[in-house]
Structure 1
Amino acid sequence: MKLTRRMMMGVAMGGYLLSAGAAMAKTELTFWSWRQEDKAFYNEIIKKFQEKEPEISVKFETYAPENYQTILSTALAAGRGPDVIQARAYGNLETIAAPGYLLALDKQTVPELANFPEPALAAETLRSDGKVYAVPFATQTMLVIYNKKIFADAGVKPPQTWDELIALSAALKAKNVTPFANGTATAWQNETIVAALLSSMLGKQFEEDIASGKANFTDPRYVNALSKLKDISQYFAPNFIGVDYASSQQLFAAGRAAMFAGGSFEVANFKAQNPALDLGVFASPVAKPGDERLIARYYDGGYAVNAKSDKTDAALKFVRFLATPEYGTAFTNALKNLSPIKGIKIEDPLTQEVAKLADNSMSYLMLVRFRYQEPSGSVLLQSNVQKMLAGQQTPEQAAAEINKGIATYYKPFQK
């Protein structure tokens, strides 16, 4: 009897030690991001992942967007950093993929890459070796967001042509309504404004001509588009030259301006600040009826694995989960932000509208094509448009300066 009791105690103790050992063996991943505003969403997603993979835990950490790339690059260069990385796309991806900091992904290690369109994978591809280094996470579109109540009260409708946009803005201003909440004090906002308002004016052919070297940024089509932007700026926020990004957001979210030229990623933030807002979206107006109407589109980063991680298998499991239609549907519906994953189900009518507009697009030009070398096309555009709208340059001068900077490394412009 004593032996039996001892045996039972031994078995119980053994079971305890085994369970304790299993708990101790649980793999914890670190996951870094700049998306501080999405923290609650990611924590919920991690719970869902852990229901499927209970032996893996994930610690989500965020950093200020303006410092994220520097903090991440410094950590990776030191052989540290997180196991899973929310990485930016295009040129910013290359700065951390080219030195070998990221694990290359393929359809053997991440079969879910088949869930993405080729342009999304191209945004996460290192040009020098043609390999994919991150699972894409979002499709961003540049368009105009508008307040439906303000439009209805003023008796105006979304414009189709540029002339209609000017007339609409003048009508709103005559009723003491600020037409656009936008300011230009925050440099990067000038790039989003250009894409949101001028994409249809420029057109896909202009992008093709730029890419092939048939045209450069001194082209009359580009100068004319900048001139149109100069014209519409009289309807931006009062004293817009000194109005920064946060102030522009607040002006629109508070219902004190009718329109906001920017990214579809703004919608969730506006609704979070003011749930009563009834919002609509429209693509950039065309020069004349019959022209092709476009939005500007880009793929906003992806989920990557640290090449120096000693938890690669667990990290790949998490990244594969972030590449499923289940995840893409949750991402889109929770954050009102388009996932590029095929087969997602969009519940929100406004997000459905954004997705429909995204079907007819050109590139968010400077990011997609000219943010790989210095001076980047984005910085050149942002600074020179800022000067132009402040009255320090003409559209011709702004275009020439943009072209001059890119020509220092882009051979087609050197002819």
Structure 2
Amino acid sequence: MWQTVQNDLNKQGVNVRINFRAISATSYDSVLQTAMNGGAGPDIFYDRAGEGTMKYAAAKLAAPLDGSVDTSTISKTALAAAQYQGKTYGVPFAVQTMELYYNTKLLSDNGVAVPQTWQQLMSAMGQLKSKGVTPMYAMGVQQWLLALQIDAIGASTLDDATAQSITAKQANYATPQFVNTLASFQQLAPYLEQNWQAVGSAGNEQETQFALGKAAFIIDGGFDTATINQVDPALKYGQMLVPSPDGKQAREDWYTDGDISLNANIKSSAEAAAAKKVVAFTATKAFGDAFTQIAGEISPIQGVQVPSSYPLSVQAAQWYQTQSVNPVFGIRSPMDTPPVSPTDIKTKSATTDQGIFTAEQNVAVPLLENKITPQQAAAQIDSQLAWYFGKK
């Protein structure tokens, strides 16, 4: 990807050499934070959208891009996750979507039709379980993915009015529709693989086992289809939006994955100028085209089309344009970005405030283990989001 960026810029007469360093995903945040705090951070860095971007911006470690980078072709909703106090501090590079994936052969071999409603999904998984087939795979260790699964269900169970009322603080997460979302998530418990609580240490077991035909369904993101395809390129599987109770309002949950930010403290003026040109290029259609052709994911840059060689992503992009949740109510949303201060990035626990995504992670496993009720989970989420609803 970055070799392509370098080549394109060189062709435009921009003499720049990009040195890309990859860091393990599990240690990336801490490695980046340590480097940035110590003044040894990279000129350009991938940042978590939302709270992550805001912390680096508040600490004046990320440079504002307004006036030097044209972000006018980027979706305003996606761009909002890279902004702080009215300024833009990053260029969003990907839109991630959540879908329900199903193994067409397993369903066909067991006489199970592709479900169109939530109740049909429950019935289908019941039929599969009765025939000795694991209906759905999940990873209890990877609670972040469980929280995304709650959001994916919520996209089809919360209507716009309810989602907007929560965003506007006119309602909280104890609203009946969100409680029903948690109840639907809890209904998955009988259909998960044995010992699901201990699964996920490698982080890819869900996609791997699905690709190996060990489960009929998974709720996952388009970002994991690459793993599925790598494990079994010949696997016949399809995707659908998580079905709604009536089968009519199924919608797609999405979020801005991250953004590309500029270090505010680059010592060399020549390096700083070159880095600014690279970041500016990441906001262009040329970059978006290169990104989606290589990654097969959705770009937030207007006019970028997912190549036909990624048919599932093409379909997800269509849903994103026509059937996505508005506004985003989960990860990277306003409810997921507690107020930050310049000192937050200096420590790992500068604040006790939690966003909705963390709050959902806290209740996901207890819900599936039937240790708490959906009503109790909603009350716990509300308590952890007291900062947002003005109850503190």
State the TM-score bracket (shorter-chain normalisation): 0.7 to 0.9
The partner residue of 1:349 within 308, 311, 314 is 311
Deviation at 1:242, TM superposition (A): 2.1
Task: State how far apart, in whole Å, the 1-side matches of 2:31 and 2:329 are.
Answer: 26
Question: Which of 249, 252, 276 is the equivalent residue of 1:295?
Answer: 252
Q: Which has the higher contact order (CA 8 A, sep 6+)?
A: 2
Aligned match of 1:110 in 53, 69, 73?
Answer: 69
Q: Which of these residues, 49, 55, 71, is aligned with residue 15 of structure 2?
A: 55
SS at match of 1:180: coil
Q: How much has 1:98 moved relative to structure 2?
A: 1.0
Q: How does 1:7-406 map to 2 (within 5 A)?
A: 41-53=1-13, 55-106=15-66, 108-111=67-70, 113-126=71-84, 128=85, 130-244=86-200, 245-290=203-248, 292-309=249-266, 310=268, 311-347=271-307, 348-359=310-321, 360-362=323-325, 363-373=328-338, 374-406=353-385
Q: Is the 8 A contact 1:198 1:229 kept in 2?
A: no
Q: Is the 8 A contact 1:195 1:295 kept in 2?
A: no
Q: Which runs of 5+ in 2 are unaligned?
A: 339-352
> Distance in 2 between the 1:413 and 1:153 partners?
53
The total of aligned residue pairs comes to 368
Provide closer, same or farther for how the CA distance between residues 230 and 265 of structure 1 changes in structure 2, counting only shifts above 3 A. Answer: same
| CA–CA distance in structure 2, aligned partners of residues 115 and 155 of structure 1 | 47
Partner of residue 21, structure 1: none
RMSD: 2.0
Q: Give the TM-score normalised by the residue count of structure 2.
A: 0.88
**Residue 366 and residue 323 in structure 1: after superposition, are their counterparts in 2 closer, same or farther (change >3 A)?**
closer
Give the TM-score normalised by structure 1: 0.83
Amino acid corresponding to residue 260 of structure 2 in structure 1: Y
- Picking from 384, 388, 391, the partner of 1:410 is 388
> Considering only CA atoms, is the larger Rg found in Structure 1 or Structure 2?
1
Contact 1:124 1:132 survives alignment (8 Å): yes
Aligned-pair CA distance for 1:45: 4.2
Give the match's secondary structure for 1:323: coil
Instruction: Measure the CA separation in 1 of the matches of 2:259 and 2:232.
Output: 29
Structure 1: stretches of 5+ with no match in the other structure? 1-40
Q: Deviations over 1:161-210 (max 9, x none)?
A: 11111112122223322221213232212201112233211232221111
SS for the counterpart of 1:87 is strand
- The structure 1 segments of at least 4 consecutive aligned residues displaced by more than 6 Å after TM superposition are none
Q: Cα 1:375–1:89, aligned 2, differ >3 Å: closer, same or farther?
A: same
Give 1:286 shift.
Answer: 0.9
Q: Which has the higher strand share?
A: 1
